[in-house]
Amino acid sequence: MPEHGRRTFFGNLAAIAGAGMVSRWFGEGSVAAAESAPLSAAASRTRARAAYDVRLRAAQRLLNAPVPVHRVNGDEDRYASRIGNYSKGLAHNAAGEVQPTSYAAFLHAIETGQPEAFERIPMGAERRLVNPLAGLAYNMVGLDGHSMTVPPPPALSSAAEAADIAENYWMSLLRDVSFSAYDSHPLVARAAADLSRFSEFRGPKVNGAVTPRTLFRSNAGTLAGPYVSQFLLLEARFGAERMERQMRTVLPNIDYMTDYDCWLATQNGTMPWPDQYDPTPRHIRNARDLGQWVHYDLLFQAYLQALLVLFRIGARRQPENPYMISQNQLGFSTFGSPHISSIVCDVARPAVAACWFQKWFVHRRLRPEAFAGRIHNHITGEAQYPIHSEILNSDALQAVFSKQGNYLLSQAYPEGSPLHPSYTAGHATVAGACVTVLKAFFDGTFVIRNPRQPTADGTALEPYEGPPLTVGGELDKLAFNVAAGRNMAGVHWRSDADASLRLGEDVAIEYLRDDRNCMPERFAGYTLTKFDGTRVTI
């Protein structure tokens, strides 16, 4: 090669890849590395400046973002006894009300944000609060978690809170009924009729009424097909490995916190009993299975598995992907499989950070198990609370009392809820974020071929025959399945799920906006359908 050609070649190479890459190709002591060093240093400085400008623009976007007003439901100021707020793990009296000194120390720690202040909180037993300081963590991609907000949760005395807990009660009563039996099971019909009477029930309805087909489902277009999303059922392949979709679930008819002494001890933070496992592997067939699936999952697990299913079935990518029309190039590190899989996992962290800020530093909403304890003590005359009459007159309470002789909300998990506030919900926020990423890369109208559904006992899958199931619909269903599974276990409310899915969606949209600005391709933007049905281009 002529000398001027060699200089041009290595200079261009250095400008593209930098001296480090040239050295790796040709060796540290090579003539090529030495000759290219001055040019590569200049190119590296130019690249560093360009990278700085990208980060600066992202930071300026964050700085210029509207400052949200974080509205609360007022329960913490309304009740000096803090009966409307989270206090699990702190010290409680015999009525399950938090000790004032314990809550005061808890609030002081929240207000100061100092790790040492959390160490001085008087706790009730052995269990520890779950990572409150995570709500103060910063994100390096997308908007800061404090720059996004959610509506306030229902207040303790509201009709919306009454409707929320009524659904939780019915979920607990129907844990062992197969989803495939909902159309004919008498207790399902009873639950649908009861929930239809609540003035503020926010679940889907048909002609103004809850039906067995709409029971425990979402308003986000998830009424078609089996209750469980195809992405929790279909075979996934992790590289050369095949992933078995049957799970280790727990034995039926075993619930926890069904007597008052156990309920009170759990509010104080006693250590839980072990799970009692079913020896037979099963597909998710009922509320107990779904609750157990989200008991031990990694937060991004369902969506990474969904991505692997999408790869296996050859789901169509979004037409905006620039490599869909390229004649000579394929996507890989950008717009390809490594890009998608890394984002699906990575977006979980800012989603959790945004969620943890809301739950610890804004709302501090009580868990359903705690509210059910208030209902029990109110009805039995141990205390008087401002509980809405719609739940006190509900058929759900009669059904619960007939089963266990009290008005407590039975729990699917031995420990009940985790030791962090209820609103917003971590699983649901991550679900909203990760599913939004998948919708940005895959065509939601793609029809899933050969869909399946579990047999009644969950030991096998059988063909589903019915209206077509699309990628978009089943991704929305997946997100709500994960959120509702936590409700079915007794640890979250429907209003937690609804707000958190949208918070996660907001996190993902802002994450994708920053990610897009880092890529060199000519790209019009990610276009997707949000949970509320609107189309957005990022």
- Backbone φ and ψ for 252, nearest 5 degrees, come out as -75, 160
Structure tokens at 191: 């639950």
Structure tokens at 257: 């916190």
Annotated catalytic residue: which of 283, 295, 363, 420? Answer: 420
Residues in the chain: 538
For 304, 337, 414, the CA distances from 295, given in Å and listed in that order, are 17, 28, 11
Are the CB atoms for 431 and 479 separated by under 8 Å? yes
Looking at the DSSP bridge assignments, the partners of residue 248 are none
Cα dihedral across residues 375, 214, 429, 178: positive or negative:
positive
Q: How many CB atoms lie within 10 A of CB 45?
A: 10
> CB-based contacts of 256: which residues, under 8 Å, 6+ apart?
262, 272, 273, 410, 411, 412, 413, 414, 415, 416
Distance of CA 129 to the CA centre of its chain: 20
Are the CB atoms for 145 and 173 separated by under 8 Å? no
Q: How many CB atoms lie within 10 A of CB 490?
A: 27
For 285, 321, 372, 488, 527, the CA distances from 410, given in Å and listed in that order, are 20, 48, 9, 10, 42
**Collapsing DSSP states into helix, strand and coil, what is residue 123?**
strand
Q: For tokens 């407590």, name the residue.
A: 408
Annotated catalytic residue: which of 92, 146, 283, 427? Answer: 427
Q: How many CB atoms lie within 10 A of CB 50?
A: 9
Q: How many CB atoms lie within 10 A of CB 189?
A: 15
Structure tokens at 464: 């589903």
Q: Give CA–CA dist 511/521, Å, rounded.
A: 18
To the query of whether residue 420 is one of the catalytic residues in this protein, the response is yes
> CB-based contacts of 8: which residues, under 8 Å, 6+ apart?
none
The residues annotated as belonging to the active site are 420, 427
